[in-house]
Structure 1
Amino acid sequence: MAESAKLQALFGGTFDPIHYGHLRPAETLADRLGLQKITLLPNNVPPHRPQPEASPAQRIKMISLAIAGNPLFDIDQRELQRQTPSWTIDTLIELRRERGERQPLGFIIGQDSLLTLHKWHRWQELLDYCHLLVCKRPGYAEKMSTPEQQSWLDTHRTEEISQLHHSPAGSVFLADTLLLPISATEIRERRRAGLSCEGVLPAEVIEWMDQQGLYPAQQ
C-alpha cells in the first residue's frame, strides 16, 4: 500500500450497536485533526467486556447503515475473522506491516479506555505502532490513577497536530470532542424496556433493528 503523509485513524469497539456517541466525537476529531479517513474495527472477542449480543454480521450491517454516504468512515473486518481475543496490539502490528513504517497511524480511544490502558495486552508497545487519539468522555477523571501512569502520559502527550501527521507513532493527543452521554448498554436497555432510541443512533439503524427483532422488548 502506498505511504501517505496524512494521518490515518483507526477506531475499534464492539459497536453493539453503533451510535452517535461513537460517530459524532469521531467526526469532531476528524475536523480538529484534518483526518480524511477513519477505519472502524469491530471486534469479535472483546478482551475487557462481555461478548456482544448482536452477531458479527448484524454489527457489520448496522455499521454499514450508519456510515452510508459518509466518506469519512470505512470498515475493516479483520478482527471479526479471529476466534482469539481482539488484542489491539496484534491488529496494529498487522496494519503497520501493511501500510508501511512511515505512515502516520492514530488509534482512537475514549477517556475511559485511557484510564484503564495499563490493563490492555502489551499496552506499553502500543505507541511503537500508533499515536493514541483520546476523546474526552463525560464523568471520567482527568488524571491517570498512579504517578507512574501519569508520568507516562506526560512524557508522550502532544498538542502539536502537525506532529501526528509527520511522525508514524509515539504520541498521545487529548482531544476536546463532543461529550455525548450515550452508551450501547443504555440503548440495549431502552430497547428491552420498549423505549424509543430516536436521536441517539441513525434512524436507518433503528429501523433495521426493528426488522431483525434485535435487542427485543421484554414481555
Structure 2
Amino acid sequence: MTQQTNKTANSKSIQALFGGTFDPIHYGHLLPVEALAKQVGLQQVVLLPNHVPPHRPQPEATVQKRLAMIKLAIKNNPLFSIDTRELKRKTPSYTVETLLSFRQQIGRQKPLAFIIGQDSLLSISTWFDWQKILDFCHLLVCARPGYSTYFSTPSMQQWLKNHQVHEPEILSDKPFGAIYLTDTPLLNISATEIRERKRDRKSCKDILPPAVLRYIDKHHLYQNCL
C-alpha cells in the first residue's frame, strides 16, 4: 500500500476493505461496491481474498488462480487494490483478526470500513468475536436481493439501531463504530450460479468480466461434475 504523502488531505479518507473467496470474482462483487464508493466517497477499496473461509465450503479454484482472476478483474480500475494477508494464513480467516491487523498497521484514528452484504449482516452474530468488529471499523452494507432488512431477534435489531447512521459524511468523522446501509444495485449474481452455468455449458458473459471469463475457459475451471 502506498504511504500517505499529504497527511492533512488524507487523514479523514476512509480505508475500505472487502473480503470474500472470490471463486470466481464477478460483477455481483464489483458493481455494487463501485456504486457504494460513489455514495460514500471511497477513494480505494482493498479486496481481501480468503484462504480458509470459516462459514462456507472451501474454494474450488486454487489460491493462485483466484488471485489471478482478481487481478484481471480490477486491471485498469484504480478504485480497487488487493491485500493478500488472509491468503498467507493456514487457519480460518476471521474478520475480527484481519481488522485488528489493519488497525495495528494504520493506527486507531484513521476511518476504516468493512464492506459486507445484507445477508452477512443478518448472520453476523454467528461470526467469531462479532461483538468486537465495530471496535475496529464501520460496516458498509450492500443490499442483496431476497434478504430481509430486519433481524429476526429484537436484541440484534436494537444493536443495529444503536449503531446505524443515515448520513455517509459521519463515517469519515469517526474511525469506527457505525453501520451504514447503502442504496446499491440489487444484482442477483452468485459464484455458485457461475460454477453451475459453467458445468452446464451455459454462457456467463453477462455476469463475469471478459478477462475473467477468458481465464476460466483457458484453465478449464468449474467444469467438474457436481
- Aligning the two structures, in what range does the TM-score lie when normalised by the shorter sequence? over 0.9
- Residue of 193, 212, 221 corresponding to 1:214: 221
Aligned counterparts, 1:1-219, within 5 A: 2=4, 4-216=11-223, 218=225
2:215 and 2:168 map into 1 onto residues whose CA distance is: 38
Normalised by the length of structure 2, the TM-score is 0.95
Distance 2:176 2:110 in 1: 9
Shift of 1:42: 0.4
Amino acid at match of 2:170: Q
State the 1:163 CA deviation. 1.2
User: When the two structures are superposed, what TM-score results if normalisation uses the length of structure 1?
Assistant: 0.98
Once the two structures are TM-superposed, the CA of residue 128 in structure 1 deviates from its matched residue by 0.3
Indicate the RMSD between aligned Cα atoms, in angstroms.
Answer: 1.2
Structure 1 runs not aligned, ≥5 long: none
Q: How far has the Cα of 1:19 moved from its partner?
A: 0.3
Across the two proteins, how many residue pairs are aligned to each other? 219
Consecutive unaligned residues of structure 2, counting only runs of 5 or more, are none
Distance 2:109 2:167 in 1: 18
CA drift of 1:36 comes to 0.3
Structure 2 CA distance for aligned equivalents of residues 210 and 110 of structure 1: 28
Moved over 4 A (4+): none
d(CA) in 2 for partners of 1:22 and 1:155?
28
